[in-house]
Chain A
Amino acid sequence: MTSSNKKPQNPDDLLAEFADRVLEEEAAVPAAAADPEVRSLLATVQRLGRVARAEDPDQKTVGRMQADLKQRLSRSRSDTGHAWQSQQTRQRLSLTFASVAVFAVILLAIPILLSGNGGTEATAGIQTQGALVLVGIGCMIAMVFWLRRRK
């Protein structure tokens, strides 16, 4: 069988085969491709192949990048640790503050509430004060819940 009897290669196959070749080594655009459109596509593949062959990182780069990655990972781990610790401290401080505030309001409220319940001389003013203290306690409790939810 002579080459003139050969069925012309499908452009898809021609391009795919040429891509395989240029990835192995520098290769010229095959002379068999007479169609200018196909030749121009082959030239693009040739260009891609030339760039692709030069893309691999060398051993030195691989080693340096691996060391750098380990460093970055340990830094990010310790940063996460610090952030977690400071968040814990903030949580503890705000909870302590809220508890102290509630405790203080209760301490202040007890004598007023007791005097309000005790005598017939209880006035409307004292009752109002008691109600205000209760509202204050309610607000404090709401604040504690709100602080806890924020975390």
Chain B
Amino acid sequence: MTARPAASDEILIRQFKDGDRNAFDGLYQRYLPAVYRRVRFVIPEADVEDVTQEVFIAAVRSLPSFRGEAQFGTWLRTLTNNKVAEYYRKRNRKQEAPESPLLDDLRQPSEGNAAKIMEDRIILRAALRRISQQHREVILLRFAEGMQFNEIAVLMGQNLEATKSLFRRAIAALRTHLDERQ
């Protein structure tokens, strides 16, 4: 999750740790879109807001022990991935049918182009769950978080060419699973 302006996360975190609860509002507004988009790519529509909120609740609870060894955005991304994994663990424990996310989404009313996007979102989500974590991550960083390839390369500790190559392999893996569904 990319920290936008230099209006520093560190200052807001310090203020929060010093007891200023409102300091978290700044972090929430800054990071909500990225967390929301990432969650929306991988979680059924009906549960997107709930899981997003759980990420931020976990952040508020863990922030006092955040030591700033990683960037706040990176730390929040890890929290988001953990919450998503927890969501599917709980869902599997309830032994719900693997296709039930589709049913959840189809309960949402939609028309025309929105319906087409909704359908694509459902199919892509199912395919995204089937590819490797590394492939999924590069796709989410580019499409859910809007990071540039050079930023992704830095984050992943690779050069730009290797990142683009990983992206192509990720798209190929995704396409394979999309083909299987059609």
Contact = CB atoms under 8 A, between A and B. Distances in A.
5 closest pairs, A vs B, by CB? A12-B164, A52-B143, A55-B37, A44-B175, A16-B164
A23 B60 contact: no
A78 to B, nearest CB: 14
B144 interface: yes
A12 B168 contact: yes
A112 B146 CA distance: 83
Contact of A57 (B25, B36, B56, B148): B36
Contacts, number: 91
Interface residues of A, number: 31
A148 interface: no
Interface in A119-142: none
Interface residues of B, number: 37
A76 B33 CA distance: 24
B175 A41 contact: yes
B117 A54 contact: yes
A69 B57 contact: yes
B165 interface: yes
Contacts of B32: 57, 62, 65-66
Interface string A13-24: 101100110010
Contact of B29 (A16, A44, A45, A62): A62
B16 interface: no
A79 B144 CA distance: 35
B84 interface: no
14 contacts: A15-B164, A16-B168, A19-B143, A23-B142, A23-B143, A47-B124, A50-B117, A50-B120, A57-B32, A65-B49, A65-B52, A66-B25, A69-B28, A73-B60
A51 B120 contact: yes
Interface of B: 25, 28-29, 32-33, 36-37, 40-41, 49, 52-53, 56-57, 60, 114, 117, 120-121, 124, 139, 142-144, 146, 148-149, 161, 164-165, 167-168, 171-172, 174-175, 178
Interface in A52-102: 52, 54-57, 61-62, 65-66, 68-69, 72-73, 76
Given A47-B120, A51-B120, A66-B29, A12 B172 contact: no
Contacts of B174: 44, 48
A89 B10 CA distance: 39
A47 B124 CA distance: 9
Given A41-B175, A51-B120, A19 B167 contact: yes
Contacts of A20: 148-149
Given A15-B168, A16-B167, A65-B49, A55 B57 contact: no
